[in-house]
Chains A and B, each alone.
Chain A
Amino acid sequence: MEGLAQMQLEAVPEPSERLLVAHRQGDRDAFSQLIERYRRPVFGYLVRCGVAEGDRDDLFQEIFIKIHRRADQYDDARPLHPWLFTVVANTVRTYQRKQRLRSFFLWEPAGADVEPEFEDHSPDVEAIASSRQTEAWLERAIQALPMPQREVLILATIENVPLKDIASILEMPLNTVKTHVRRARLRLVACRERYERRTRVSHA
């Protein structure tokens, strides 16, 4: 039985926390694995938080460089996911602050108020037409959420971060986080109902 337990243990992948610790100790491969593991969550967060398409790649790199630089600040007794997303969220917030400043000085509409740029809205591929529309409305609905609600929703539902960790990541009181997630869901439900009504009307 011990053998079996050992085998099962081996099947478990290296925890992300270990990867960062290994990287800290000079194992370069570990960081590459860490990037591989987090590339989509991080990039997805950037996209959904409305980071302009032209800036995403740069910001993506900046985030991982920051993670590398701050690896020594990470307490490996704690889970990595919230720590890493703290870096991500802060980088995105700094970026958005700069964008707002830039918009202000260039007399452009403030970034937070405009519909953020999102990756192409081209039709989904080989999916049923309604599925494609469903995808589109949901992405649009997420994009239309106010930024705090969007941040909380992405972390809570897409990244599955516990609410108390979200509070720590976004430096918000737990109750505020709860309020945001509740409001975000209510908005999405309202959007969905509107969308369904429209679909029914167009089919009728």
Chain B
Amino acid sequence: MPDMPDMTEKCSEVREAIALEGKAPASEDCLEHLGECTECARFLKSVLAVETELGTLATPDVDDAIVDTLLARPELSTKTSSHKLQWAMGLAAAATIVFLAARVTLIGHDQPREFEVAVAQNGAVVGGEGRPEENELSSEETESLQAPGYVGNDPENRPGPQYRGQTTSRDDVIASEKSLNDEAARAELSLRARELQRSYSVSTEEGNERENNNAPLKKDEGLLGSDVGAGRTAFGDRLEGAASAPEPSLEDSPKRASQFAALPDGLAEQEQRKLRALEEAVTVTGESPSIDSGARVSEDLVLDKAQIVTDDFRSRLVRQDADGAFYQRTLEPDKLVHVDAVYPESAKAKRVSGIVTLRVLIDSNGIVTRATVVDSVEELDQAAIHAVLQWKYAASEIEERSVTVRIAFDAPAAPDDDARLFLEERDRIDNLHFRDPRGYWANTYLPGDPRARFLAMRLRNAGQPIAPHLSARPVVQPFDPPSRGALSVTLHADHRGVSGPARLLLQVGVKATDNYGRRRPPMNVGIVLDADPDNIAAARALGDSLRRAKALGDRFRLFVPGKGEVVPPESFRHGPLAVALDELEGSSHLESDLESAVRLAVERVHAGDDPTMPLGSSLVLVVTSRKLGGELEALSRLAHQSAIGGVPVSVVGLGASVDRDELERLALSGQGRRYFLEQTADATGIVDRELASSSRVVARALRLRIKLAADVRLVDVIGSESLSERQADRAREAEKSIDLRLSRNLGIEADRGEDEDGIQIIIPSFYAGDSHTILLDVVATRPGAIAEVTARYKDLSELRNTVAKASLSLSRSEAAPGPLETNVLKNYLSFRLSQELESAADELDRGDRDAAVKRLRDARHLLVGLGFGNDQELARDIAMLSEYVGVLSSSLEPALIAYLADSLRYAGASKRRLPAALT
């Protein structure tokens, strides 16, 4: 064993080289050593295995909503900053500081420290009655004060109007008053003014940053629909103002103008400025008013002032107002207790509407100590004050804070004809056509709506200043995620009880766990490319994205109609792909047979399918740029056969000629997903989502069985349809195929094959984080059991068969609906609204703008007329409809009409499902 020490040293050297490079070292002697030393060879094998695992490790992805928020951030609208400019700004800042320090040193020391702050309208610090030349600042200083926190005069370095609109204003300047008689106080005052402004600037900046950063959270808060409200809600008159005409400007409103006229000049101007800023904020953020039961009451707290004030100072504050100083507006203090203003019965009877503006003082403990009416509506003032005095804010070190609150009282709309008819229809129990509450019904859960993504992109790129669709959101479902298992199921009605025959809406809710796996298995994919020359660029982008997404172990192959398999898995690289696409561009394959190409792809992918791999790891992706027409039926059959054999078929539509309904049908038959690629930039996202989708599924073969009690009769399953015997067979087949495959692969016992009593809906896959509702229109004849729902599914988290159940029984009661019951009705309204928005879009496309406006106005009337309680979600919908009606009632360019049609469609899609959650 003389060479043993050498071997050890060599082993160490070789292993170090392997560990450094993550592969076998290139040098001859190392390779030779690896051939001789089993330990080192084993080590190499381990390293290679680790490298392989690292290579296939799925990368977590950020939520689409975050990207959308990021792209919408105002910072991105500003030009990229130059470091030269930054240097210049830094130097300017340094020079300003030195200058100020010099001034303070020269005029400020050994003087009494009593001071107060006074800033005139132009932003210059006013020193009272001292030497006038010392009361004025240089133009640079004035500039720096006018834009606190922004050094230098470069307009690019200042917040633009868009920025200001989206956050709180910083161009209003701190105001206070006191004349100073001594130079020292003035000097210190100057310094203090800057410090204050700087600190405000910083806090506002931080606040803005927080607001921007938390934008998605805010959205969630909004979705929760709780008490986030007052500070961020819009004002009620926006609703009414926009109802029939474009939003009137503040100056246009005679009522508002007269209110301002009654105020001292300075204050009037202040209010106008602030309200204008508010208008901007509302326009940009699209927040909504809240509505009170019977009457709408919304609060608006935006004109805030947080400032260190002494009692003495406070007493002079109003006087200062009259002198025309501005307020510093900061973020709303955190409100801990909110009490809604109660619409006085007397005012309600007289149908008095209006906005009461109050100035509210909050002490350091967060208690509202005083509420002063700034803008009065005589019969409503007391109600507003009474509510506001019960509010409580978070404590603060600031001795006293002042905020301005606007509370809008909107007279209750008498249910107009639409609402009355709607309610009558909802209650009608005679002359109804009842359906058989058994058999299979169409699945309405389609994971994702690519059309909405495509629309979102088009809307974003349109660069139009109005975006009403951004307010459209689906109803927040109050379902708890499952505490165990992948899915939870709930059953609710829109009534709390029944006392006799009654028409009910039943709602089955399914909620998936948020947790899902991240790893994507090696994929076996057949891509059938059926693109015409106009869409070749999109096809290239898709091909390239697939090539880049290809990970270790993936087997991708490309098929072209009329040419067969043009790129086999081993050649799926840039060169062969590019050549194939070039040939495609030069050929006229469109007359070729797409069905044969798909059939070939299905056969090849099935042949290469490894049944031990997870379901979904093999798939066929049909990429087409044309209407399928007569071929659709055969393709759907083929896709279905492929899916029940374990290979789903997904579809990507290229260009504007594709028929989205056709693609949807094909994807449904193939248990796959469908996408639309309008811009080449979308290609990567589509490919990533498609390849990752198999790892986002948390439940497979979900069989929902809804069994109605014997005396409950079914009017309809809303939005669904009863399946024909042939369609039902296909649903059963699909279910069985998943059942068998999961049994074979994952050992989840096969338990399907039997039909059950009741309404049956098969959902092949349910995705993490999703929720879905199914609404049933039924008639119950008496109190007691109404229905029960059973959700039987393959739980992919726990790898077992799982059953979730819920049942509903209604007592004899006339109790008013609670939040859960209201949620059911809201889901129904949301469904209806979604349909109306899309119909209005179709009408716009047809050039019938009047019909679209009427439809939207009717929808708005219905929502307003229903007089729902203090419901922010519905109020948001009403505001959105008002905005559409307002915009569409004015004269519009054709491009803007097309944009609004897209916007309406997007809003319709968003009412069903948040685009952010799209897969």
Residues of A within 8 A of B (CB): 4, 7-8, 10-13, 23-24, 26, 28-29, 31-33, 35-37, 39-44, 47, 56-58, 60-62, 64-65, 68-73, 119-120, 122-129, 131-132, 134-135, 138-139, 156-158, 178, 181-183, 185-186, 188-189, 192-193
Contact = CB atoms under 8 A, between A and B. Distances in A.
A47 B685 CA distance: 19
A23 B80 contact: yes
Given A72-B80, A126-B695, A182-B19, A64 B578 contact: no
A125 B698 contact: yes
B213 A122 contact: no
Interface stretch (B49-57, B225-233, B370-378, B442-450): B49-57
A125 B516 contact: yes
A64 B521 CA distance: 30
A68 B80 contact: yes
Given A36-B681, A40-B60, A73-B83, A125 B214 contact: no
Contacts of B519: 124, 127, 131-132, 135
A126 B616 contact: yes
A128 B614 CA distance: 7
Contacts of B768: 125
Contacts of B79: 26
Given A11-B578, A57-B63, A70 B80 contact: yes
Contacts of A129: 746, 799
Contact of B66 (A41, A57, A122, A157): A57
A72 B521 CA distance: 40
Contacts of A73: 83
Nearest to A119: B60
B525 interface: no
B581 A11 contact: yes
A26 B79 CA distance: 7
A95 to B, nearest CB: 12
B187 to A, nearest CB: 36
A3 B313 CA distance: 80
Given A35-B67, A181-B20, A60 B681 contact: no
Interface stretch (B236-244, B261-269, B540-548): B540-548
Q: Which 3 A-B pairs have the closest CB atoms?
A: A124-B517, A122-B515, A44-B59
A143 to B, nearest CB: 12
Interface string B42-71: 010011011101110111111100110111
Contact of A68 (B75, B214, B680, B742): B75
A31 to B, nearest CB: 7
Contact of B22 (A43, A185, A192): A185
22 contacts: A7-B578, A11-B540, A23-B80, A35-B70, A57-B213, A60-B70, A61-B69, A68-B80, A120-B516, A125-B516, A125-B698, A126-B616, A126-B700, A127-B521, A127-B695, A132-B519, A135-B519, A138-B50, A138-B53, A158-B54, A185-B19, A186-B19
B62 to A, nearest CB: 4
B548 to A, nearest CB: 8
Contacts of A35: 67, 70-71
B581 A32 contact: no
Contacts of B613: 128
A120 B696 CA distance: 13
Given A40-B61, A65-B73, A125-B517, 13 more contacts: A7-B581, A12-B544, A40-B688, A44-B61, A62-B213, A68-B76, A68-B80, A123-B798, A124-B518, A125-B697, A126-B697, A182-B20, A183-B19
B16 interface: yes
Contacts of B76: 28, 31, 65, 68
Given A36-B681, A61-B70, A135 B57 contact: yes
A119 B518 contact: yes
Nearest to B212: A61
Contacts of A12: 544, 574
A43 B60 contact: yes
A195 to B, nearest CB: 11
Contacts of A122: 513, 515-517, 797
A129 B798 CA distance: 10
Nearest to A35: B67
B27 interface: no
Which interface residue of B518, B578, B616, B700 has the most chain A CB atoms within 10 A?
A: B518
A188 B57 CA distance: 14
* Most interface-central of A26, A44, A61 (chain B CB within 10 A): A61
B399 interface: no
B796 A126 contact: yes
B129 interface: no
A12 B797 CA distance: 40
